[in-house]
A and B are shown apart, each in its own frame.
Chain A
């Protein structure tokens, strides 16, 4: 079974600074997808960024980028120019490729605090 590990329960960053959230995963599959989701307090989970395992290029969405290391099974999220609105729980999630289970497997999350 696939597992996703987020080893940082909490992180803190000052406004306008950069922070990196860590995620590692375990799988025997070669084709899969990885996601970062953001869950603000009492609000719905929102997709931040998505990475296909077959793509070597790291995904980027505005201030959010990933460092995808397939061999190391590592998928970290970098948030640049942090804003107060970035404060939330961040979940790393794994989904198998074609012909595998469609479900998402989530890590336990990292709570990000953004300070002035």
Chain B
């Protein structure tokens, strides 16, 4: 039983560049979530999918952020024209559809903006 997988683990880029992260959820999980975690804080919700449908987006998800889950399996999170404030750990989680089911997290992608 493989867990949630995220790629890459670390990403360093210059301000203004575009970056894309990938998340592979646990295979039988149809819900997939993205969170952002800055140093010393708890994760903050960005968006979530049920199968391929994006059901909720946080106001934190500005126009520069876009997430997809085209076939209801893996998901990508893209940040366009990165800014210093985008530096954070981006966490992916997945869960079963049933209410109250716990979310299982990946190792995260740490983004550093130079």
Total contacting residues, chain A, CB less than 8 A: 25
Query: In the complex the two chains form, is A105's CB within 8 Å of B108's CB?
Result: no
Query: In the complex the two chains form, is A98's CB within 8 Å of B99's CB?
Result: yes
A residues near B48, Cβ cutoff 8 Å = 102-103
Which stretch from A11-19, A40-48, A63-71, A74-82 is at the chain B interface? A40-48
Smallest CB separation, B96 vs chain A (Å): 11
Query: In the complex the two chains form, is A104's CB within 8 Å of B107's CB?
Result: no
Smallest CB separation, B10 vs chain A (Å): 11
Given contacts A101-B56, A102-B48, A102-B55, contact A33 B42 (CB under 8 A): no
How many A-B residue pairs have C-beta atoms within 8 angstroms? Tell me. Answer: 59
Contact bitstring A93-112, B, C-beta under 8 A = 1, else 0: 10101100111111111000
A25 in contact (CB, < 8 A):
no
B residues near A50, Cβ cutoff 8 Å = 100, 102
- The interface size bin for chain B is 20 to 34
Query: In the complex the two chains form, is B102's CB within 8 Å of A44's CB?
Result: no
Smallest CB separation, A75 vs chain B (Å): 14
Query: In the complex the two chains form, is B45's CB within 8 Å of A44's CB?
Result: no
Query: In the complex the two chains form, is B105's CB within 8 Å of A44's CB?
Result: yes
Smallest CB separation, A5 vs chain B (Å): 11
B67 in contact (CB, < 8 A):
no
Which A47-68 residues have a C-beta within 8 angstroms of B?
47, 50, 52
Beyond the given A104-B45, A108-B41, A109-B40, please list 13 additional residue pairs across the A-B interface where CB-CB is below 8 A: A33-B99, A44-B105, A44-B108, A45-B91, A47-B103, A50-B102, A93-B42, A102-B48, A102-B50, A102-B55, A103-B58, A104-B33, A106-B42
B interface residue numbers (CB < 8 A to A): 3-4, 31, 33, 35, 40-45, 48, 50, 55-56, 58, 91, 93, 99-100, 102-108
Contacts A/B (CB < 8 Å), 8 sampled? A4-B42, A45-B91, A45-B93, A50-B100, A97-B100, A98-B99, A103-B33, A109-B40
